[in-house]
Amino acid sequence: MTRLGPGLILALVAGFAFLYLPILALIAYSFNASRLVTVWGGFSTQWYGTLLANEPLLSAAWLSLRLAFVSATLATALGTLAALALARQGRFRGRLLFTGMALAPLVMPEVITGLSLLLLFVAADVERGFWTVTIAHATFGLGFACIVVQARLVGFDRSLEEAARDLGATPLVTFWTVTFPLIAPAVAAAWLLAFTLSLDDLVIASFTTGPGATTLPMRLYSAVRLGVSPEINAACTILIGFVAIVVIAASLLLKRRQALGA
C-alpha cells in the first residue's frame, strides 16, 4: 500500500504539527527583541548575547557535557558487555537476575533510581559531585545501551565468527576483527543515546549531585520554574541545535559506513 489518502495525509500533517509547532515557536521567540513573550518586538539576537555572559549557565553546560561524555562511555562499555553476555553466553547462573538488573532502568521511574543511588552514596559516605552523578548516569544509561547493542547482536550471523575461528583467530581476536567492527554502528548509537539521556536528565542528577556540581538541566529547571523568559528560549535553542547537529552528523556517518558495506 503506497497510496496515501487525504485522511492519512491529514494524520501525518496534524501529527507532525503537534510534534514540531511547540519547538518551532520556542525557537522563534528566542529571536524576539521584546522581553515580553506576548509581544513580538522584531528580530534580535540579543538574548544569545546575555546568555554568553551568563557565567553559571555556561559552567553548568560545560559540566553537563563532560559528565555526559564520561557516563556515556562507561554506560556503553558496560552495556555492550551486558549485551554480549545476554546474546552469547546462553544459560548462565543468575541469568534472570542479570537480565532484570540490566534492563530495569528502562522502566524504573527516575525518582526511584535517583533516590536509591543517593541513599547508597550517603551510606558509603562518598562526597557527592561530578563522579556520583557520572556513576548514576552510567547505571541508568547501561540498560539503554544494552538494548541497542543486543538488537544488533540478535541479527548477527554467527557463522561470521565461526569463519574467523576456523581461519585461526582466537576468541579475543575474533571479537576485535569481526564482531566489534560489525556491531560498531550499534555501539555508536548506544553511546549517542546514553550521551543525550545524560545531557537531558534532571531528576537523577538532582538526587545524586552535591554542592558545586550543578548540571545544565538543573539550572534550566530552576529558571523555568520562575517563568518564561527569552533567555531560556535562547538557551534551549542552542541545546536543540547542538543535539540536532550531533544526531544528524552521526546518522550521516552511519549511513556512509553502511554504504561502504559495514
Partner 1 sequence: MRKASPGSVRRAFQPWNDPAAQPLVEFRAVTKRFGGVTAVADVSLSLYPREFFALLGPSGCGKTTLMRMLAGFETPDAGAILLDGVDITAVPPHLRPVNMMFQSYALFPHLSVADNIGYGLKREGLPRTEIDRRVGEMLALVKLDGLGKRRPDQLSGGQRQRVALARALAKRPKLLLLDEPMAALDRKLREATQFELMDIQSELGTTFMVVTHDQDEAMTMADRMAVMDHGRLVQIAPPDVIYEAPVSRHVAEFVGDINILEGRVEAVDGDLVSVATPLAGIVELDEEAPALSSGEPVLVGLRPEKIALSHDEPAQGVNKVRGEIWDIGYLGDMTMVQVMVGGDDGQLLKVSLTNRSRRIERPFAWEDSVWLSWDVEAGLVLKP
Partner 2 sequence: MSVASRRTAGLVVAVPSLWLGLFFLAPFVMVLRIALSDAATALPPYAPHFEGFATLRDFLAGLDLENFGLIWEDPLYWQSYLFSLRIAALTTLVALAIGYPLAYAMASAPVRWRVILLVLVILPFWTSFLIRVYAWIGILRPEGLLDMALSALGLSDQPLRLLNTEAAVLIGMVYSYLPFMVLPLYATLEKLDRSLLEAAADLGATPLRAFLTVTLPLSLPGILAGSALVFIPAIGEFVIPDLLGGPDTTMIGKVLWTEFFSNRDWPLASAVAVVLLVVLVLPLALLQRARLARAGEGGGAP
Binding site for partner 1 (CB under 8 A): 157, 159-160, 162-170, 173, 177-178, 181-182, 260-262
Strand residues in the chain grouped as ranges (E):
none
Contact partner at residue 200 from partner 1, partner 2, none, CB < 5 to 8 Å by partner kind: partner 2
| Residue list 126-145, contact with partner 2 (CB under 8 A) | 135-136, 138-139, 142
What is the spatial distance between Cα 46 and Cα 140, in angstroms, rounded to a whole number? Answer: 38
Binding to partner 2 by residue 245, rule CB under 8 A? no
Question: What is the three-class DSSP state of 227?
Answer: coil
Pattern 144-163, binding to partner 2, x per CB under 8 A?
A: --------------------
Size of the residue set binding partner 2 (CB under 8 A) = 80
* Among the residue ranges 41-49, 52-60, 114-122, 181-189, the one whose residues contact partner 2 (CB under 8 A): 114-122
Radius of gyration of the chain (CA): 22
Binding-site member from 52, 163, 173, 247 for partner 2 (CB under 8 A): 247
Of residues 87 and 147, the one with the C-beta less far from partner 1: 87
Q: Is 150 left (phi over 0), alpha (psi -120 to 50) or beta?
A: alpha
Binding to partner 2 by residue 244, rule CB under 8 A? yes
| Residue list 81-110, contact with partner 2 (CB under 8 A) | 81-82, 84-85, 88-89, 92, 94, 98, 101-102, 104-105, 107-110
What is the spatial distance between Cα 88 and Cα 82, in angstroms, rounded to a whole number? Answer: 10
Residue listed under C-alpha cell 527516575: 110
Contact partner at residue 163 from partner 2, partner 1, none, CB < 5 to 8 Å by partner kind: partner 1
Of residues 52 and 163, the one with the C-beta less far from partner 1: 163
Q: Which residues contact 113 (CB under 8 A, 6 or more apart)?
A: 105, 136, 139, 140, 204
* Among the residue ranges 12-20, 44-52, 55-63, 179-187, the one whose residues contact partner 2 (CB under 8 A): 12-20
Binding to partner 2 by residue 172, rule CB under 8 A? yes
The answer to whether 76 and 196 have CB atoms below 8 angstroms apart is no
What is the spatial distance between Cα 92 and Cα 113, in angstroms, rounded to a whole number? Answer: 27
CA 188 to chain centre: 11
Of residues 43 and 225, the one with the C-beta less far from partner 2: 225
User: What residues form DSSP beta bridges with 43?
Assistant: 32
Of residues 37 and 52, the one with the C-beta less far from partner 2: 37
What is the spatial distance between Cα 81 and Cα 102, in angstroms, rounded to a whole number? Answer: 11
